[in-house]
Structure formats: C-alpha cells, structure tokens
Amino acid sequence: MIEKYVNAEELRRLLSTLVVLLAALAIGGLFAIIVVPGLRNANRPNFPTPMDAIVSEPGWLDPTEFPPERGRVIPAVDPKTLIESSPKLVARGKELFEADCVQCHGTRGEGNGPGATTMNPRPRNFTRPDNWKNGYDLAAIYRTLNVGVPDTSMTSFSYLSRDSRMALAHFVQSLGAFPHGTGIPGAMEALSKELARPGEKTSNKIPVSMAMAKVEQEFTAARPLAVAIDDRRPGAEVLRRIVKDPGRASQVLAGSKKWHEGPVQLAASILPGVPGNGFSVSAATLSDEEWKQLHAELLGLAGR
Ligand code: HEC
C-alpha cells in the first residue's frame, strides 16, 4: 500500500537512504564499543608485567579510591540479616570484591586476576570446590577474611566491617555453583554470636593515594639548618657556633614538638643529645641570654 504514495524509483531511493543510515549507525556503534575504551586507556603507560601495572598505579589496593571515612560505631544487627544470603548482600559483596579482590582472584573469582601470575600459591578459584584450606562454608570464608591465610598473599581484611565481610563471603559463594555446606558443627552458631556482638567500631579510612602522600611527607628530610652568611643577628652567631651537623640538627628540631615554646624548652630539646644530635658540646656553656637569642633566631628561620 506504500506504493500508493511513492513510486518504485522513490521507494528505491528511500530504501537506499535507510541502508546508508543503518550502516552509519553500525559503524558509530562499533566505534563507541571498540575504539573509545581503547582511546580512554591510550595515555596509560605500558607496564612490563600486570603486577607492576597494579602496584605502580596510585591506589592500587583500591582502584576505585573510596573517599576518606571516619571510624564509627556500628549498631548491633540481627545476625540473621547477614547470614541469610540476599540480592542486596551479594550486590554489596560484588562491589567490595571489585575494589579489593579482583586484582588477585579475577572478576569471576577463577583465581586469575592480573596480580595472580607471579603468586605461589595461586589465589583460590572460587568456582570450584577443590583445594580450599580454610573451607568454603560461610563461617570459614568469614574467618579467612578475618585472619587471611598465613604466609601467602591472602592477607587479613579485618579492617572491613563485619557486614562488609559477610557481604563478601556471600558474593564469593555466589561465584561457585556447588553446595557450600555449613562447615564444622557449631560453626554457624559461633558466627551468629560473633555477628550479634554489639558496638563494633570501624577504623578511620583514607584512600591509598592520600596515605602515600602522608608517608612521603613524613619521610621528607627536614631542611638543613642553614644560616645566611649576611645574617648578623646575635642568635645567628650563636647558631653558627653550636651547630656541628646542620642536617642532623635540623632533624632533631623537626622531631621536637616543644622547642618553639621558649628558650628553656629549646635547651631541653638540644642538650641531652649533644654531640650526637648534630649540636656541639659547647651548647652546654651558653648563657640564658644566648639561649634567648638562639630561640629568636630559630623561630625566625622556621618561619621563613
Ligand atoms: C594480593 C592477592 C590477593 C588479594 C587482594 C585477595 N586474595 Fe584471597 N587469596 C589469595 C591467595 C594467594 C589465596 C590462596 C592462599 C593459599 O592457597 O594458601 C587466597 C585465598 C582466598 C580464599 C580461600 C581460603 C581457603 O580456604 O583456601 C578466600 C575465601 C579468599 N582468598 C577471599 C578473598 C577475598 C574476599 C578478597 C577480597 C576482600 C581476597 N581474597 C583478596 C590472594 C589474594
């Protein structure tokens, strides 16, 4: 009936336009699926081994970089809500698994994550019931997450809250289509009791990159105690006299929280350590007036 409105020639043109449009859509779709994700990763450097790649990336323990979180007290929960599997628990477990476990265990839990290649023993394959050391019932997996497997790359994840660990255990079980059982007699009761304990406190969490920055900051050596040649203040004079090793001396002051408070506190930070702390024994002969001058000078230098 479409012939009523268009003649054969027009119909052919219409159809060929349609074919061109569809082809364009298909090419666009392929581009979006195949090329765009590649482009997104194009700027990443090529690392020699997958493990190196993981370790070198900031926040490699936690690629999603959770935001900082204050420790809090988690109210007691009904253990049943954590022991019976639910889609919500499994979904939460998947999220955690993708952040903390896939590097080693692989996205499907087959024990073949990028970090697994160099590992001995290899990470457990969760899709099969073979070779589990602690066991695969809920209580056993929960225990593994608490204490890890000693002397292997499987470390403890006890910093995760109890409900997070239970969510992970449920997700791990969901990866293997075999009966997981209830473990040794009494295991479930013990788990129930453990989960019902009130007042669990979680620790403060900061993203790995932030922790790295902090560590770096703490380990950066303090600037050596340098006095400018043209500094003619009396304190500068005293400082030149008593500093033997500018690097060490500045480290000592950086490590003392009290010296800022006054000349007496300054003397107390320096005198017990001479001469090993970079200050000369002649510091013991300084007058009260000289300590005052020294203190003023150091405050001036610290404020630079
Ligand atoms: C750095 C690598 C690594 C990471 C990260 C890691 N695992 Fe493992 N995991 C291992 C290795 C290796 C083993 C095997 C240890 C063995 O055979 O003794 C293992 C074993 C296990 C087991 C089996 C224990 C048993 O009874 O044999 C469970 C369950 C498990 N991991 C869960 C997890 C979960 C959940 C996470 C994330 C929260 C995780 N793992 C993160 C390396 C890792």
Distances (CA, A) of 31 to 22, 115, 158, 197: 14, 30, 44, 54
Q: Is any atom of ligand 1 closer than 6 Å to the C-beta of 152?
A: yes
CB-hemisphere CA count at 13 Å for 247? 2
Distance 248 CA to ligand 1 centre (A): 44
Write down the residue that tokens 């400082």 correspond to.
Answer: 239
Q: Is any atom of ligand 1 closer than 6 Å to the C-beta of 117?
A: no
Contact 274, 284 (CB under 8 A): yes
Q: Is any atom of ligand 1 closer than 6 Å to the C-beta of 165?
A: no
Q: Which two tokens stand for residue 189?
A: 């009761």
Contact 154, 148 (CB under 8 A): yes
CB atoms near residue 166 (< 10 Å): 26
Contact 123, 134 (CB under 8 A): no
Contact 134, 141 (CB under 8 A): yes
Q: Is any atom of ligand 1 closer than 6 Å to the C-beta of 161?
A: no
In this predicted structure, what is the pLDDT of residue 218? 57
Write down the residue that tokens 């090993």 correspond to.
Answer: 276
Can you tell me which atom of ligand 1 is nearest the CA of 61?
Answer: 5
Measured distance CA(101)–CA(107) in Å, rounded: 8
Closest CA to 239 of 249, 76, 159, 248: 249
Q: Is any atom of ligand 1 closer than 6 Å to the C-beta of 162?
A: no
Q: Which two tokens stand for residue 168?
A: 């992970």
Whose alpha carbon is nearest atom 19 of ligand 1? 123
Distance 104 CA to ligand 1 centre (A): 8
Q: Is any atom of ligand 1 closer than 6 Å to the C-beta of 134?
A: yes
Whose alpha carbon is nearest atom 14 of ligand 1? 123
Distance 88 CA to ligand 1 centre (A): 23
Q: Could you read off the pLDDT tens digit of each residue along the chain, which spans 304 residues?
A: 666 787 888 889 988 999 999 999 999 888 888 777 666 655 555 544 445 444 444 444 545 566 677 777 877 788 999 999 999 999 999 999 999 999 999 999 999 998 888 888 999 999 999 999 999 999 999 999 999 998 888 989 988 889 999 999 999 999 999 999 998 899 999 999 999 888 787 777 777 677 766 666 655 556 777 788 888 889 999 999 999 888 888 888 888 878 999 999 999 999 988 888 989 988 989 999 999 999 999 998 877 5
